[in-house]
Each structure stands twice: as structure tokens, then as C-alpha cells.
Structure 1
Amino acid sequence: MSGSARALEVPRQAWCYGLPGLPLALVALPLYVHLPHHYAGLGASLASLGAILLLARVFDAATDPLLGRWIDRLFSRGSPTVLWHARWLGLALMVSVAALWFPPRGVAFGPWALLCLVPVTLAYSALVIAHQSWGARLGGDGAQQSRIVAWREGWALAGVLLAAVLPGVLGWPVTLAAWATAMALAGWAWARGPHPNPAATPTVATTTLWRPWRQASFRRLLAIFVASGLASAMPATLVLFFIDDRLQTPHWQAAYLGSYFLAAAAGLPAWLALARRIGLAQAWLTGMVLAVVVFVWAATLQAGQTHAFVLICLLSGLALGADLALPAALLAGVIADAGDRSQHEGAYFGWWNVAAKANLALAAGVALPALQALGYSPGTRNPEGLLALTLAYAVLPCVLKLVAATLLWRWIVSHPGMLTSASIARGSGAADAHGTCPPPVYGGGSAPAVADDHPPVPRRSL
């Protein structure tokens, strides 16, 4: 077992690495869900606000590959350099989020929001990619990498739950103060968690932006990730409409969403155990099949079937755990196979995050206009409109998930030679692509930093 993997088996080291997942998830949900309503309440025009948010999100996705290349260059100078920059990125994020949420009196809200969203998206995405790349550079086989990702995503789920509760209970000033405190604690913890070994971080003169696309294994894994992610993003876009108009139980929203994310967090250890037993790809395929079997049931629900939908949320939340812990661990194996470990992780995760954000944009851009064209409008009780909503919410995502499962079976599970890394082919007891990983360096007096990766909630809803 690699030294880095041994570090993550020590609980304190594991939570130190994973803790930054909480504050970044805590801020991501308000940015994507609450911000439009917040600015509309301040008097901003919905039309101008929509255009500004679209522009900001396009900018966000387009800059991820460039940020990934920059992060790789920081890693080439050693992990303390990454932490030093992450500290200032975290500070920039805190200042820009505060300015975004509390605009000065008399300011033009639209231009102010755009002015603040630029540093918010740049700082957030840079921290996401840095934290993801850091975890991949810790090395280990498939089971060990899935454990690393699970700690990161487990804390992120805790952040999502806090983001769903705190604003309504404590208000925005207290929520943002709690978030800033969590950011500082997460920076302290990250600096004292396991570090990539300096010897495993060679100097990289240049990082080619398009380098990941030269690898057939990356292109195939990304195609599976996109199909699976789109299957999750479509119901996420429509879930509140489904609850309000199909189930007609809007007062149960908190129970539905809470049970979904709690089940996802509770199920993470089970997916790790399954991955150790049968392998990452096989475990992810199992999660996809479970998601389809459970979620197709939602297409049969009628108004008032509250308890049935709670059960669907629990079981599909359990399936979500596989989507959280396993794909990024598979990507780490692809990076190792390509000989790019400890050199180009940022480039890979930059494109990975572009795909995740594109799924959200595509889901909203396709699902909502299509529903309107098919006769659905919010608040309708028209049978044709409700049928269109049900098909878009429950049936089409299952079809997309089956496409992802088929690709995963054909390209990876039934042909493990396509992705040869032990981290993909087997669940445990395998060395990484470079043999055993050198032991990590443990942070002591390093400068604290703040980071994480949690894609906004809408990405994960099947």
C-alpha cells in the first residue's frame, strides 16, 4: 500500500484533506439556487439578471482548462506553493461573495453582480481544480483513490445540507459568517493533511491545454461521465416542478431533498467496500443500474404519493454515492495510465469540470424549452403537460443513464485492457501505474489554504 494511501486511512489525515469540501459546497448552492431570487428581491430586472448569469456561467466553464494548466504549473513548484496561492484565492472568494451578496446602496445591480461574479467564479473554480488535483496526486490504487474522493464528497454533502438549512433559519449575514469561518478552518486542515511527495512532483515546463484529449481512455471516460451527468442534471432542473405539479406536495420539499442527500452520505462507505471487492468500474455500473431501477418508478407516481417519493429519494440517493465517489477515482487511474500523474492533473480536471458545468447548462437549455413546447407550464394541471413533465423528469434521464451504463460496460467493464491501470481494473491490492507511491509529506507550518470541489447540487439528482 502506498504511503499516501496509508495517510488517508488515518482518520485525522482523511478528514483534513476532505474538510474543504464543506465550505465550497456550502457556498455553491446559494450561488446557483438563491442568487437569482436574492437579486430579484433587490429589484434587479429578471431579463438582465438572466443574461448576466448566463454570461458568467459561460465564462466560468470556458476558463476551467486554462485554470487547470495554471494549477499544474503551481504544483510543479511544490505543494507549499499551491497552498500559498489557495490561501489568497480563498480570501478573494470570501471578499467577492460578501460584495456580491450585499451590494452597496444605489449601485446598478446587474453590472455589480457581473463585476463580482467574475472573481467569484475564477477563485471558486481554481480552488476546485487544485483540491481535485491534490487528491489525485496522493496516488494509491482504485480503492484508495475512491476513499480519497469519498472523504471529499462526504464533507461536500454536509455542506449542501447546511446550505439548504442555514439561510432560512439564521438569515444571510449569519450564514455567510458561518461559511467564512468554515473556509478558514478548512484551509487550516488542508495544510495539515497529507501532501503529495515533492519527489513525485517533477518540474513541468509546460502543460499542454489539449493534452488529455490525446488519450482515448480519457475521451471514453469523459463520454460516460457526460451521459451519466446529463441523466442527473435533467431531473435536478425539474425536481421542484415535479414536486409542485405532479405530486402536489410542495411542503415536503425539504424532506425529499434532505432524505436524498442523507442517503447519499450514508451510502458512501458501502460503495467504497463494493469497489474494493469488485472494482471501480463494476461498482459504478452497479450504481447506474440501481439508479434506473429506482428512478423509473417515479414515472408512475400520482398526486399525493408522498411516502413513495421519499422512498425513491432514499434509494436514488443511495445510488448517488456511486456517482460521487467513483468517477473521479477512475479519472485518477486514467491519468496514471497516461504517465501524467503528478504532472498534468490540473489539465484533466479542468476539462472534467467543463463537462460537469456543460451538463447543467444543457439540461436547462433543452428541458425547459422542450417542456414549454409540449404544453407544460408551472402550475398546470393539464394531463398533457403533466405527462410531458413526467417523461422529461423520470423517463428520459433513465434512458440517458442506460446509455452511460452501456458505454461503461462496453468500453471498460468488458474490456479492462482499454483502461489498464490497476486502479480501474481491480478494487484493491494493486499498485499504481508507477509502482508503489512514495510516502506523503505532512503539513505542519504551511500556510493555510481554502479549497474544494463540489459541483452545484443540480448535477446530481438521479
Structure 2
Amino acid sequence: MTPAMRDRRWAQVLYGLPGLALAMPTIPVFVFLPTLYADDLGLGLAAVGTVLLASRLVDGITDPLVGVLSDRLTTRWGRRKPWILLGGLLAAPALVMLFLPPDGAGIGHLLTWTLVLYVGWTLISVPYTAWGAELSGDYHERTRITGWREGLMIVGILVAGAMPVLATALGLGEDAGLGLVAGAAIVLGAPAIALLLWRVPEVPLPAGRRRDLGSLWRQARGVLANRPFTRLLAAWVLNGLAGGLPAALFPLYLEHGLGVDEATRDRLILIYFVAAVVAIPGWLALSRLWSKHRAWAAAMALACVSFVWVPLLGPGDVAPFLVICILTGAALGADLALPPAMQADVIDLDALRTGQRREGVFFALWGMGTKGALALAVGLAFPILDAVGFDAQAESNTPAALATLAGLYALAPVALKVGVLALVWNHPMTRRRQAIVRKRLTRLGGETC
């Protein structure tokens, strides 16, 4: 390996490193935070679901705004870096306030700090993911970059999953685990972001490329005219909803559907994410053999075949559910690593057609789709469960309520993923077409990355 290649690989690792800390709060926020405020603090499923959905709707305004600003504004520190720093300064205190709520915390507290957290995450995530798409123009190297980032994010999720166990071992009580997650995310995230901002170079705009100075609406409309992107975005949103439903309902299903205790629940979550990490290199290899979109489709087919058996399980069926966790966890590895790399490829097509580089706008819309899907999962699932009489605090529920829980947890995601498969299987941005686009960009605009 030449020194230049070694430096390139080292930059990829440093780029992916903040993903570890950034991912640590995600599962607690999307899986455990709704249960904490709805169940433990007694705010109710419908109220908490409404607040989280409203927060995400506001977030839908900030995502494209941050995307446009990080594309347009060039500072002495770069286009992406200042926003990431600002986002970290906002997200850190918000995590502490949400995970360690004061006595008497109610709906107002939840709404205020989720808004601050989501704005902070937007300021980090949109420039961060856009930056990753700019680091390389190579079809396979882009997959490695997203593989590093998403793989380290899963490691962060695993570290977060160990926090409740650590809290219990230290005699703090399992409820202190969320506070440890917030502290660990800050302690690990601060130096990782510092190294990112210091050691990873931003890629300057190639010669002949320009930043679109049009209105936000005009930029969004121009991006949405990219048919391969809108097809990919639709698949991503549907897949996000398919993943958001089981994520939001996982604790409730394990407690009320399978009747397992918290220790077993934590072990199953750990196994699920370990399977995702272990599977990522395999999906990357399969994407080299087939293509990114076909490898992703294979992963979704695996998830469907696995999830369809969940409604047949009953209390105590932990062993078959463990197999389902391993298989669906492996499929998650492809969900995380492959679609963002496909996203970078369709951005090249936009650059060729328009002469503009606007990764920030693309990834802002991508982030809006992600967040909207996750919020919609909570905003739909919790009120539906409430409407059928499901009670998270009750020792037992009616068969109809439990059937609804199992259906929302497993069958609805299967139906959604079938729709995603239809969109992805023949996606037009193949390896061959992306290579042609890159060659034309090199000739027209001097792009060499």
C-alpha cells in the first residue's frame, strides 16, 4: 500500500469515527425514550407519540435549510465543519436533559429538548453525510466509506446497550443507564469530532462546478427532478418506516408478546446489532459481486422471510426469536451501509446534468425522509395500540391488542419491504452507469476524486 493510499484509508477511519458517538443515543431516543416518558413518567402513549411526531415535523424545516447553507457558505474552516461543531454544542446538553429528566418533567420538557436535540443532530448529520459523499467518486470506495461510518455507528449502539448493565454493576440502578449513555456519547464524541475537523480535509468544489444560489424551493425542486434519486428516496423512506415500527415496538413486543425480562431483552438487542456489524463486510463483498442495489434487495428479502414468522410466536418462544434477531440483524447491516453509497452515486448524475455540487441538499432530503419515517412509525403505532385498548402498564392485554402489537411489529414491516424491493431491484444507477457518469464529470469539470 502506497503512502497516499494509507493516508486515504486513515482519513476514512477518522471520518467514520464520530459515527460511534453519534449513534450511541439513537436507539435510546427512538426505542427507550418514548417508553420512558409514556410509561415510567406516565405521560401516555398517544401524547408522547404526538410530541415526537410534531418535533420531527419541525425538524423537516431545519434539514433542507442546513443542507443549503452547508452547500453555499464557504468559511475559512470549510463548508461542512462549522455546522458540525455547532450541532455538537447543541446536542450535548439536550441529551443530558432528555435522558436525566428532572422531577416533574412533562410534555413541555419533552417537546423543548427533543427540538433542541433534533436541531443539533441535523447540524451534524447533514453536513457530515454530505462530506462523506464528497470524499471519493469511486463506486466501491464510497461503499467502504459508508461501511466505516455505519459500522462504527453500530459499535456505538452496542456500547450504549451495555450502559444499563454497567449502571447495575456500579449499583446505580438500571434507570441510570440512559444518563451513562448521554455521558459516554459526549466523552467519546468530543475528541472524535475534534479529530474529524482537524485531520480530515474537506474536498473543495471541483473546477468548473458551482453552488446554486437559487431559493430553497428551487433547489429542492431541482433535486427532486432527479428520477433515480426520487426512486431511491421513496425506497429509503418506506424502508425507514419498515425499520421504525419494530424499533419503536421492540420493548413492548418482548415484554407483552414474548413475556421476557429486561435482561433477556438487552441480550437480544445486543445479538441483533452484533449480527449487523458482522454482516457488513459480507454485504460489501456481495455489492462488489452483484451491485449495491441488488445486494440491498437480497438483504430486504432476508428480513421479510425472517419477520413473517413473528406472529406465530408466543410467550416463552425466545429461541426461535433469537434466530429471527440474528437474521434481521444481518439484514440491517446492508440497510445501513449500501443505500447512502447509492445516494452518492445519484448525486453525481445531478452534478453532470446541472453543473452544481449540492450534496448538502440531497442528504438533507435524505435525512428528512429518515426522520419522518421514524417519527411516523411512533406517531402511527402508539395511537393505534391505544385505540385497540393496549395498555403498556397492564400485566395482560386482550388477544386483539396483542395481535395488533405483533402485526405492527412484524407484518407491517414485511409489507413495506416488499414495496421497497419493487423500487430497488432494477434501480437505474448501476455500477456501469456510475462509471460513465464519473468519466464525463472528469472531462467536463475536472473532478478527480
* Structure 1 counterpart SS, 2:80: helix
Q: Which moved more, 1:57-66 or 1:193-202?
A: 193-202
Number of matched residues? Answer: 425
Q: Does 1:151 align with 2:148?
A: yes
Give 1:175 shift: 4.1
State whether residues 241 and 374 of structure 2, in contact with CA within 8 Å, keep that contact through their aligned partners in structure 1. Answer: yes
* Structure 2 counterpart SS, 1:209: helix
State whether residues 272 and 326 of structure 2, in contact with CA within 8 Å, keep that contact through their aligned partners in structure 1. Answer: yes
Give 1:263 shift: 0.4
Question: 1:140-168: CA deviations, max 9, x gaps?
Answer: 23221111111111111111122222255
State whether residues 278 and 330 of structure 2, in contact with CA within 8 Å, keep that contact through their aligned partners in structure 1. Answer: yes
Closer, same or farther: CA 341–282 of 1 in aligned 2, 3 Å: farther
Closer, same or farther: CA 8–39 of 1 in aligned 2, 3 Å: farther
d(CA) in 2 for partners of 1:303 and 1:100? 33
Q: Does 1:188 align with 2:194?
A: yes
d(CA) in 2 for partners of 1:34 and 1:124? 18
Give 1:291 shift: 1.1
d(CA) in 2 for partners of 1:48 and 1:297? 31
Of 124, 138, 148, which aligns to 1:141? 138
Question: 1:19-49: CA deviations, max 9, x gaps?
Answer: 1111111133344445456667997855876
The amino acid of 2:57's aligned partner reads V
The amino acid of 1:285's aligned partner reads A
State whether residues 239 and 420 of structure 2, in contact with CA within 8 Å, keep that contact through their aligned partners in structure 1. Answer: yes
TM-score by length of 1: 0.81
Give 1:341 shift: 8.5
State whether residues 311 and 403 of structure 2, in contact with CA within 8 Å, keep that contact through their aligned partners in structure 1. Answer: no
Closer, same or farther: CA 400–78 of 1 in aligned 2, 3 Å: farther
State whether residues 422 and 431 of structure 1, in contact with CA within 8 Å, keep that contact through their aligned partners in structure 2. Answer: no
Higher relative contact order (CA 8 A, sep 6+): 1
Provide structure 1 residue ranges, at least 5 long, that are not aligned to the other structure.
413-417, 441-462
State whether residues 380 and 386 of structure 1, in contact with CA within 8 Å, keep that contact through their aligned partners in structure 2. Answer: no
Provide structure 2 residue ranges, at least 5 long, that are not aligned to the other structure.
168-175
Q: Does 1:19 align with 2:38?
A: no
d(CA) in 2 for partners of 1:17 and 1:312? 32
d(CA) in 1 for partners of 2:305 and 2:43? 43
The amino acid of 1:94's aligned partner reads A
State whether residues 260 and 316 of structure 2, in contact with CA within 8 Å, keep that contact through their aligned partners in structure 1. Answer: yes
Closer, same or farther: CA 324–173 of 1 in aligned 2, 3 Å: closer
Give 1:308's aligned residue: 320
Give 2:67's aligned residue: 68
d(CA) in 2 for partners of 1:29 and 1:262? 14
d(CA) in 2 for partners of 1:217 and 1:346? 17
TM-score by length of 2: 0.83
* Structure 1 counterpart SS, 2:309: helix
Give 2:170's aligned residue: none
Closer, same or farther: CA 338–420 of 1 in aligned 2, 3 Å: farther
Give 2:229's aligned residue: 218
d(CA) in 1 for partners of 2:121 and 2:355? 23
CA RMSD of aligned residues (A): 3.3
Give 1:435 shift: 3.8
The amino acid of 2:24's aligned partner reads L
Give 2:173's aligned residue: none
Give 1:179's aligned residue: 185
Give 1:445's aligned residue: none
Closer, same or farther: CA 232–433 of 1 in aligned 2, 3 Å: farther
d(CA) in 2 for partners of 1:306 and 1:259? 13
Give 1:261 shift: 0.5
Give 2:417's aligned residue: 401
Overall identity of the aligned pairs, in %: 32
d(CA) in 2 for partners of 1:110 and 1:396? 29
Give 1:262 shift: 0.5
Q: Which moved more, 1:326-335 or 1:88-97?
A: 88-97
Give 1:368's aligned residue: 382
The amino acid of 1:333's aligned partner reads D
Q: Does 1:237 align with 2:253?
A: no
Describe how 1:251-266 pairs up with structure 2 within 5 A: 251=262, 252-266=264-278
State whether residues 298 and 309 of structure 1, in contact with CA within 8 Å, keep that contact through their aligned partners in structure 2. Answer: yes
d(CA) in 1 for partners of 2:101 and 2:400? 43
